[in-house]
Chains A and B, each alone.
Chain A
Amino acid sequence: MSQNKTKTDMSAPTFWEQYRRKPLGMIGLAIVLVYVFVAIFAPFLTRYSPKQILLADRIAAPIWFRSVVPQYKDAPPTIRAELGPSKWVVSEATGGRLTSDEIDGNAVTVIEFEPVPITMTDESISEGEDDEFQYGDYEGEPSKSVVELSYPIAYDFNPPRTFGSTFNYWIDGSPDSKTELECVIETPEGKEYSLWGKSYSGAVSNQPARVDSRDLTLKQRLGLTIFDDPAPKIFSSKGDYRLILRANSTSGDEPTRVYISNAEFYIPGMVHGLLGADHMGSDLWTQLVYGTRVSLSIGLSAAAISVAVGTAVGIICGYLGGIVDEFMMRVVDVLLAIPTLPILIILGAILGKSVWNIVLLIAAFAWMGTARLVRSQTLSLRERVFVEAAKASGASDAYVMVVHILPNVLPLVFAGMVLRIPSAILTEASLSFLGLGDPRVATWGRMLHNARGFGAFTTLAWWWLVPPGLAITLLSLAFVFIGNTVNEILNPRYRERS
């Protein structure tokens, strides 16, 4: 690009030849490359997305704790079963059968009861429609059809803190039919806990059903007080449990069909993934991996913008001199005298929490050092013979600045930019930690913010606190190593400055 290099006549191959002989520089480069790799291939390094919640119990420990920490030896991992039509085992089918249907691409479980002509007394019809169904009321009624679906759960762990199940259901049937649904857990000892039950007459439109061991209604149903936890009580022993869905029907003239879709049973794990889970049950490893993207891109772009602005200001001031120079240098003085973090906090809060705002804000208060450095360099370059010659032959100011000055300050600027990256990364992390980051993106600072605000301390969850800080430290160190090495090679005289 330039024919007039004076001080640092160095082509890319020679630079690399020198660079590769510096061990610290190579280490730094290797670390940064690993981070870049992680940032690019983030989706392949984790199964989850950083926004996915409820993947595990709140503040779950890393899964490898089971083989390292004795008290986590039998801690339950997350058990999650999507209960499609094929997952169920029919454990009883009297007067009905299990079939399936497909609605909007979803496989729906259908329990179909054969039509039964009714011969019922008036009393049985006038029975309350929505009464909670008590199993055993109908013993000995011959016209009763029963279908029982069960799902085996092999549970070999310590009692969990919570469990739950969700599904949607609707019923097709003639108005005179009567249908009862019940959801039960059967323990290895054969004891049954009824978690949920409903009773309907006729057809019912789509209803959501939700069983959550923390719900008060469930505790009441099981005869527990509000301070008891059903989960440890039900899953108190290791062994084979069964989740049972029981449907009874006194069908009318037409067949009655019970549809069940989106059925799911889950036990949130107390251990989860490589690094555990946060207070929302979101995967911490995923947040760490995706945080690499944000930190790298914010660090690089803020450093690039600030150095570009600083270089432009420095060259213009140094070359043109006069009132422009005087004014801009006073602006630089004033900006340098304003405390950076407090003003970033205020502006960040006012301008809104977006990644782009943070980049611009960090850059806006980081270009002054470069401007000073470049200006002093330009002042000495301005007096060189080749600049004089260019001016004498009629080159415009802009031409001289771009073609003659810029290439000569670039080595200095380049090293300065690399060394600017760690401070940009640290500033972003500080702002996110204080809660001023973009709430929509996972960043390392945000992980630390959440850790502090949502119980990492009281649960002693050091695995939540340590990784993000280590990631920041390692990346900053890598850029410092690279920056120092580049400085050593390109600007030997400025070595001490960094």
Chain B
Amino acid sequence: MGFSRYLLKRLVYAFIVVFVIMTFNFAIFRLMPGDATKMIIDPTFTPEAIAELRRQFGLDDPPLVQYFKYIGNLFKFDMGLSFSTRRPVVNELKERLPNTIVLFLTSFIFTTIIGISVGIYTASKRGTFGDNFVTGAGLFAYAVPAFWIQLLLLMLFGYYIPILPIHGTMSAPPPDGFFLQFLDRIHHLILPAGSNVLVAFGSWALYTRNTMLEALGQDYIVTARAKGLEENVVLRHHALRSVLPPIVTLIFGALPGMVSGAVITETIFSWHGVGKYLMDAVMMQDYPAAQGAFYLIALAVVICNLAADIVYGIVDPRIRVGEGGAK
């Protein structure tokens, strides 16, 4: 009962956010300098051709009609035609989305596994080295520009010691055979995903370690130890259980940031994904394409937030009862 109400609230809220993003997306078209068609309409076009183009892009309707048409189309994932390729934006995004998901999931899984393991390990083995290492890694993740580390790694492993490919998601032409193609893709994935992991795992390690240390100071841990339980059992059955909710929250809470960061990572490594598509579209003033890519990224963030709220509600029962402030 309490949980379904909470869920419904989150859903409504997510819907509102999506609506705001759609409205914002529509407003971009109005904000931008000059006429939306100036990119595609050549002065040599005949008036009839211009009129036809304006009709195709729906620029002759009153603004309010345009607005509702736009929202309706977005719900159907109809994002219009790209100015530069004249292809439906949604088709182009569909081609790129799998690449982005592969990069994102790889980075994400390795970051969380490594970060949380390091955090738990250093918390259980208290000592100056672990402390310094985790604090250093945490500061590193916070203060160092991620794109700079990526540039340095790219120069090191792509140019100084050229063992990794410098751009793209696969070789052109791709090697024959499924297995070789798979290996080729992994080869291309190492640098972008690896650099993502390197710059991000520190904050996870620091957070996990702090939460863990806090939990280890609790009375029930002292009691468990006093009972003569093995340290391993104490860690795994008592401490870990109580730190799981905050860590799970962190995992989902960090998703939006990582989705955002995809734009830079993909741009640096010329990764054929949605983030690079957004960047290219912005640079070429291809507004339908930029809007489409932004909408997709924002949608992903909203879904991640929703997932975070739901998981948070499951792992921490207190949240279902109290007032909304889930974050």
Contact = CB atoms under 8 A, between A and B. Distances in A.
Interface in A401-446: 422, 426, 429-430, 433-436
Interface stretch (A257-265, A309-317, A344-352): A344-352
A334 B20 CA distance: 8
B290 interface: yes
Given A346-B28, A435-B283, A469 B143 contact: no
Interface residues of B, number: 50
Contact of A346 (B256, B259, B282): B282
B145 A337 contact: no
B311 interface: no
A476 B142 contact: yes
Interface in B126-168: 139, 142-145, 147-149, 151-152, 154-155, 158-160, 166
A233 interface: no
A341 B151 contact: no
A340 B258 CA distance: 11
Contacts of A426: 145
A337 B139 contact: no
Contacts of A433: 145, 147, 264
Interface stretch (A35-43, A66-74, A96-104, A451-459): A451-459
A446 B31 CA distance: 26
A472 interface: yes
A443 to B, nearest CB: 12
Interface stretch (A117-125, A238-246, A297-305, A460-468): A460-468
A480 B206 CA distance: 15
A334 B16 contact: yes
Contacts of A341: 260-261, 263-264
Interface string B215-234: 00000000000000000000
Interface string A276-287: 000000000000
A9 interface: no
A351 B32 CA distance: 7
Contacts of A343: 24, 294, 298
A81 interface: no
Contacts of A340: 260
Contact of A333 (B13, B24, B31, B149): B13
B152 A469 contact: yes
A433 B264 CA distance: 9
B197 to A, nearest CB: 19
Interface of B: 13, 16-17, 20-21, 24, 28, 31-33, 139, 142-145, 147-149, 151-152, 154-155, 158-160, 166, 210, 256, 259-261, 263-264, 267-268, 275, 278-279, 282-283, 285, 290, 293-294, 297-298, 301-302, 305, 327
Closest 10 CB pairs of A and B: A469-B148, A476-B143, A339-B260, A341-B260, A477-B143, A349-B282, A337-B17, A339-B301, A473-B144, A350-B32
Interface of A: 330, 333-334, 336-343, 345-346, 349-351, 422, 426, 429-430, 433-436, 448, 451-452, 456-458, 460, 462, 465-466, 468-469, 472-473, 476-477, 480, 496
21 contacts: A333-B17, A337-B305, A339-B260, A342-B298, A345-B279, A351-B31, A434-B264, A448-B148, A448-B151, A452-B151, A452-B268, A457-B166, A465-B151, A465-B152, A466-B152, A468-B148, A469-B144, A469-B149, A472-B145, A473-B145, A473-B148
